[in-house]
């Protein structure tokens, strides 16, 4: 996966916006004002990209046991976030599934009113 693939995949989801709330390096994708994915641009440039994604706690533990490239979230809640090393033993198909899973966890946590506004806006 390239940075362009990551960027395009995240932005293609309904209601997604991009931000740099922490610094000029950390790209954050949000839906409904809540983060679902973040990544360091400089790490992509260095050839050691990773991303932080929200994950169901039980699934997070299973994934960490199965893949060396999935670890507890760096600078995040270790229960709810994973740091995934891109281009490691984590297949691109699974990476896309985990981005979607993170997005859906956040989207589903939004109020029904906000969910409806996001879905309406993108139609």
Run means of pLDDT, 10 residues per run, the chain, 123 residues: 96 97 97 97 96 97 97 89 96 97 98 95 65
pLDDT at residue number 123 = 57
Which CATH number do you get for residue 50?
A: 3.90.1150.30
CB neighbours of 36 closer than 8 A, spacing ≥ 6? 10, 29, 30, 53, 54, 99, 102, 103, 105, 106, 107
Hey, what are 30's tokens? 């949000």
DSSP state of 18: E
The total number of structural domains in the chain stands at 1
pLDDT at residue number 122 = 57
Considering the entire predicted model, what is its pTM?
0.95
Q: Which domain holds residue 51?
A: 3-121
């Amino acid at each position: 996966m390239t940075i362009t693939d990551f960027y395009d995949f995240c932005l293609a989801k309904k209601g997604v916006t991009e931000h740099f709330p922490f610094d000029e390096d950390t790209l954050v994708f949000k839906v409904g004002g809540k983060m679902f994915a973040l990544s360091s641009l400089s790490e992509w440039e260095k050839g050691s990209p990773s991303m932080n994604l929200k994950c169901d706690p039980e699934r997070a533990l299973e994934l960490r046991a199965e893949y060396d490239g999935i670890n507890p979230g760096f600078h995040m809640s270790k229960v709810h976030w994973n740091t995934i090393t891109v281009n490691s033993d984590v297949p691109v198909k699974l990476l896309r599934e985990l981005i979607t899973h993170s997005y859906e966890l956040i989207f589903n946590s939004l109020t029904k009113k906000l969910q409806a506004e996001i879905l309406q806006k993108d139609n």
